[in-house]
Amino acid sequence: MTQSRVLAGQAVISRPTRAVVQARSSVITRAEFQLAPPPYELDALEPKMSKKTLEFHWGKHHRTYVTNLNNQIKGTDLEKKSLEEVIKATWNNGKPTPEFNNAAQAWNHTFFWESMKPNGGGEPSGELKAAIEKEFGSVGELKAQLKQAGATQFGSGWAWLVSDKGKLSVIKTPNAECPLHLGKTALLTIDVWEHAYYLDVQNLRPTYIDTFLEHLVNWDKVAERYKASLNEGAEAEGGWRVLLSWP
């Protein structure tokens, strides 16, 4: 008899229920973190993002982060923590550990896959659009700032739309860093590591970012995250609801 722990909307890890724990009277060992697939087929974003890119990016890079993380935390106190808790514990006051790098990259990539959808793009609507227009003046200005952040991130990293107590802003982070350990709520991200786009457009990062914003971004998911970030009393981390409580 098990209870599911839902992380990042996709990754499901099971723990014994309270009744089973009491019967065993033993220490619970958390199941390994699992690599969840993107919420669409690997060829579903073609021709804007190729199946080959997804095969390498998700199938090899993302998989390696999850595998390395499981190996690194095995037999340690980190093994009992959620993915978000591992990230916060290993940020190490700005001196991230190897465990942080793999945990944050596992988190970032799941968030990135869910930030896209087939036939995406266009503009947001409703509360999200109103919030964007209030903060940035227009959706076009938001896109311009995301393009600037992504194009000017030196080396590898991420461009983000974040909320900080309801106030929207665009930030960029290097390497594996993410809004979670900065105390901000992530709403949208663009992966600007070269492996995200090199097979499709080689070194043309601005072209890739344009394609993401005009044809791939999932504004419905961004709106869902924004609404979750505003819900008082909801356990939300990075815009996702994380179910951790016992029955």
Task: Flag whether 195 is marked binding.
Answer: yes
- Per DSSP, helices labelled H in 173-218 are 198-201, 205-211
Question: Of the candidates 197, 169, 33, 205, which has an alpha carbon nearest to the alpha carbon of residue 112?
Answer: 197
* Paired tokens of 245: 């409580």
Q: Is 120 left (phi over 0), alpha (psi -120 to 50) or beta?
A: beta
| Secondary structure (DSSP) of 129-182 | HHHHHHHHSSHHHHHHHHHHHHHH--SSEEEEEEEETTEEEEEEEETT--GGGG
Given CA atoms 244, 236, 181, 64 in this order, what sign does their dihedral have? positive
Bond before 16 cis per omega within 30 degrees: no
Question: Of the candidates 49, 31, 32, 30, which has an alpha carbon nearest to the alpha carbon of residue 40?
Answer: 49
* Paired tokens of 143: 């896109």
Task: Flag whether 57 is marked binding.
Answer: yes
Task: Determine the straight-line distance between the first and last CA of the chain, rounded to whole angstroms.
Answer: 12
Task: Flag whether 109 is marked binding.
Answer: yes
Residues placed in the known binding site for Mn(2+) = 57, 109, 191, 195
Residues placed in the known binding site = 57, 109, 191, 195
